[in-house]
């Protein structure tokens, strides 16, 4: 059963080929047997999952099932889940049991999806390799010496290793798309504001966006339909209707205009990744698309810009962890300031501290204009590049990440090198656009991804464009050996 996609599982459940309880048991058994070597899950909620599965079976029997009813999924441990530990990959929240469900979690629960557990991630979503997690690194199922990418690395590795048919992720600078590419799965970062941020632990609030991770674009369409929509509890939630993302998957691509940015194929791009992406773009011509060159001249400066904006917002957001209301508290505090400092010093790992310090510095008196204001101006230029490109084309294509998965430990001593793994994903967050990564081949035996960027709220088109590619190729069907 674990070989099936969400769409196939939904059909099987509806036809009575297996029950949700049987299906859920089979995934729990796989997690028990295989996750020890991968570390995808921080928490497995076996009992609650079986209870939800039995409830789903009742709904299916009563004819009240939707497309996700009874389908097991995993949630990134950044989404609050009522009564279940929500650690955000941090010692700071190791003892934190969320008192409520995030909106995205509540919506998927209402749709009848069964939660298998909470997936591992870089601490507070700050990382590109899953190595900053308090719970240890996740291993890439294609090669356990390699990282799965990050920060949604647990979700990506769980889907790739068939320890969940689908999962939620969040993407602030590439954290859905980059691990999706490195693990050979499909991951969609929706338009900023499309999926509610309520109950999704904040990192950089003007960039954070939740989205689906699964094997296929069709499955991402099903999950996004279950997650997306206006939420009055999120002040930046988009007040727009949610289309049926599966309705247009079958549309043909005749006349589709694809923009290929020259800047995405320059220095730093691995030749094998480049080859795979160019082959994929060629295949789109065969599907009826027209390819034109476009330019995103400020892309190179998107990473420096991001490493001002994101740490600044992070330093502000993470000031809530003070050892007073929830989370880690140091022993025997000598006064309030000592309580704050030691609780935070002990609760946060090195990368989170680095970003808090950079952000604090960038926002401090005398430096605000030189860093934060400058970065916001750069953000406008980066966003304008996309606006101009989308006057000519329907979608933009290029690599998701400059290389395939690197080895665990290869970049941990050099933060700036690690940051450059998000060279092609970060500008999308700064602009607030949607983008999807689809499996597009291998480089050095490890998976690589094609990134497709769309205009605002054009998720249906992205899913259609990705789905059509998956009808013509089988990269998304490949399974890592042993899983």
Task: Catalogue the active-site residues.
Answer: 76, 151, 175
Q: Interaction with other proteins in 388-427: which residues (CB under 8 A)?
A: 414-416, 419
- Choice between 144 and 206, CB closer to other proteins: 206
CA Rg value for the chain: 21
Applying CB under 8 A, among 305, 403, 425, 437 the residue interacting with other proteins is 305
Using the rule CB under 8 A, give the single segment among 133-141, 255-263, 286-294, 304-312 that binds other proteins. Answer: 304-312
Give the span between the Cα atoms of 482 and 479, in whole angstroms: 9
124 binds other proteins (CB under 8 A): no
CA angle at 145 for the pair 120 and 72, rounded to the nearest 5°: 35
Residue 366 is a binding residue for other proteins (CB under 8 A): no
Q: Judged by CB under 8 A, does residue 329 bind other proteins?
A: yes
Q: Which of residues 142-201 bind other proteins (CB under 8 A)?
A: 192-193
Q: Is 264 helix (H, G, I), strand (E, B) or coil?
A: helix
Q: Closer CB to other proteins, residue 85 or residue 257?
A: 85
Min CB(382)–other proteins separation in Å: 9
Please state, in angstroms and rounded to a whole number, the distance separating the CA atoms of residues 153 and 169. Answer: 9
Compute the least distance from the CB of residue 470 to other proteins, in Å. Answer: 28
Q: How many CB atoms lie within 10 A of CB 331?
A: 7
Q: How many residues does the chain have?
A: 483
Q: Is the separation of the CB atoms in 437 and 214 below 8 Å?
A: no
3-state secondary structure of 451: strand
Least distance in Å: CB of 413 to other proteins? 9
CA-CA distance, 37 to 202, in Å (whole number)? 30
Burial class (CB in 10 A: 0-12, 13-18, 19+), 126: buried
Q: Which is nearer to other proteins, 12 or 333 (CB)?
A: 333
Residue from 169, 174, 179, 323 in contact with other proteins (CB under 8 A): 323
Using rule CB under 8 A, residue 257 touches other proteins = no
Q: Which of the stretches 37-45, 269-277, 380-388, 462-470 binds other proteins when contact is defined by CB under 8 A?
A: 380-388
The nearer residue to other proteins, 39 or 209, going by C-beta atoms, is: 209
Choose the binding region for other proteins from 157-165, 216-224, 332-340, 466-474 (rule: CB under 8 A): 332-340
Instruction: Please report how close the Cβ of residue 143 comes to other proteins at its closest, in angstroms.
Output: 28
Angle between helices 6-14 and 217-227 (to 10 degrees): 70
Residues 399, 400, 402, 405, CA torsion sign: negative
Please tell me whether residue 336 binds other proteins under the rule CB under 8 A.
Answer: yes
Residue nearer to other proteins on the CB measure, 166 or 311? 311
CA nearest to 361, candidates 434, 312, 300: 312
Residue 24 vs 43, nearer CB to other proteins: 43
Which range, of 20-28, 147-155, 325-333, 403-411, touches other proteins by CB under 8 A? 325-333
> Which residues, 6 or more positions from 331, have their beta carbon under 8 angstroms from its beta carbon?
none
Binding residues among 428-457 for other proteins as defined by CB under 8 A: 430-433, 456
Question: Least distance from C-beta 129 to other proteins, angstroms?
Answer: 16
**Neighbour tally for 415: CB within 10 Å:** 16
Shorter beta-carbon distance to other proteins: residue 116 or 378: 378
Options 50, 260, 381, 410; binder of other proteins; rule CB under 8 A: 381
The three-point CA angle 150-152-154 to 5° equals 100
Task: Pick the stretch among 101-109, 121-129, 139-147, 359-367 that binds other proteins (CB under 8 A).
Answer: 359-367
Q: Does 334 help bind other proteins (rule: CB under 8 A)?
A: yes
108: helix, strand or coil = helix
For residue 203, what is the enclosing H or E element?
none
Strand, coil or helix: 73: strand
- Closer by beta carbon to other proteins, 248 or else 376: 376
State the DSSP H helix or E strand holding residue 396, giving kind and residue range, or none if neither: strand 395-399
Site for other proteins in 455-474 (CB under 8 A): 456
Could you say which of 12, 66, 243, 304 contacts other proteins (CB under 8 A)? 304
d(Cα 374, Cα 391) in Å, to the nearest integer?
26
**In the complex, minimum distance from the CB of residue 308 to other proteins, in angstroms, rounded to a whole number:** 5
- Give DSSP secondary structure letters for 46-57: HHHHHHHHHHHH
Nearer to other proteins, 142 or 386 (CB): 386
Q: In this chain, which of 2, 91, 353, 478 binds other proteins, going by CB under 8 A?
A: 353
Which range binds other proteins by CB under 8 A, 70-78, 131-139, 257-265, 348-356? 348-356
How many Å apart are CA 89 and CA 238, to the nearest integer? 28
User: What is the number of helices (H) and of strands (E) in the chain?
Assistant: 16, 11
- Total interface residues for other proteins by CB under 8 A: 71
Contact between 186 and 180 under an 8 Å Cβ cutoff? The reply is: yes
């Amino acid at each position: 059963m674990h070989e099936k996609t969400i769409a196939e599982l939904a059909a099987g459940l509806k036809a009575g080929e297996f029950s949700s309880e049987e299906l859920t048991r089979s995934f729990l058994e796989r997690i028990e047997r295989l996750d020890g070597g991968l570390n995808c899950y921080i928490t497995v909620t076996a009992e609650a999952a079986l209870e939800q599965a039995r409830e789903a079976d009742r709904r299916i029997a009563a004819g009240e099932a939707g497309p996700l009813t009874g389908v097991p999924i995993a949630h990134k441990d950044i989404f609050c889940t009522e009564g279940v530990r929500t650690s955000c990959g941090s010692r700071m929240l190791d003892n934190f049991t969320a008192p409520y469900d995030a909106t995205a979690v509540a919506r998927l629960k209402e749709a009848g999806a069964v939660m298998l557990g909470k997936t591992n991630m870089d601490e507070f979503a700050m990382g590109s390799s899953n190595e900053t997690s308090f719970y240890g690194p996740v291993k890439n199922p294609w090669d356990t010496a390699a990282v799965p990418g990050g920060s949604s690395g647990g979700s990506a590795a769980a889907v790739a290793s068939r320890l969940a048919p689908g999962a939620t992720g969040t993407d602030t600078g590439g954290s859905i798309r980059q691990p999706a590419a490195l693990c050979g799965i499909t991951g969609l970062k929706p338009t900023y504001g499309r999926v509610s941020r309520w109950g999704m632990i904040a990192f950089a609030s003007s960039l954070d966006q939740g989205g689906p991770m699964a094997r296929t674009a069709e499955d991402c369409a099903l999950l996004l339909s279950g997650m997306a929509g206006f939420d009055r509890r999120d002040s930046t939630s988009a007040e727009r209707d949610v289309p049926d993302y599966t309705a247009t998957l079958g549309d043909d691509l005749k006349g589709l205009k694809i923009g290929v940015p020259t800047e995405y194929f320059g220095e730093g791009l691995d030749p094998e990744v480049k080859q795979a992406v160019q082959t994929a773009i060629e295949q789109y011509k065969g599907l009826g698309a027209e390819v034109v060159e476009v330019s995103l001249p400020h892309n190179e400066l998107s990473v420096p810009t991001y490493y001002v904006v994101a740490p600044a917002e992070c330093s502000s957001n993470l000031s809530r962890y003070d050892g007073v209301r929830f989370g880690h508290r140091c022993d025997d505090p000598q006064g309030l300031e000592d309580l704050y400092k030691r609780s935070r010093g002990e609760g946060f790992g090195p990368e989170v501290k680095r970003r808090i310090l950079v952000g604090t510095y960038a926002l401090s008196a005398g430096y605000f204009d030189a860093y934060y204001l400058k970065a916001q101006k750069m953000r406008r230029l980066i966003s304008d590049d996309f606006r101009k490109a989308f006057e000519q084309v329907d979608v933009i294509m290029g690599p998701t990440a400059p290389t395939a998965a690197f080895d665990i430990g290869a970049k941990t001593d050099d933060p700036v090198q690690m940051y450059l793994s998000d060279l092609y994903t970060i500008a999308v967050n700064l602009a607030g656009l949607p983008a999807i990564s689809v499996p597009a081949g291998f480089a050095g035996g490890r998976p690589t991804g094609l990134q497709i960027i769309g205009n605002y709220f054009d998720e249906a088109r992205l899913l259609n464009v990705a789905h059509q590619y998956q009808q013509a190729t089988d990269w998304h069907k490949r399974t890592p050996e042993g899983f």
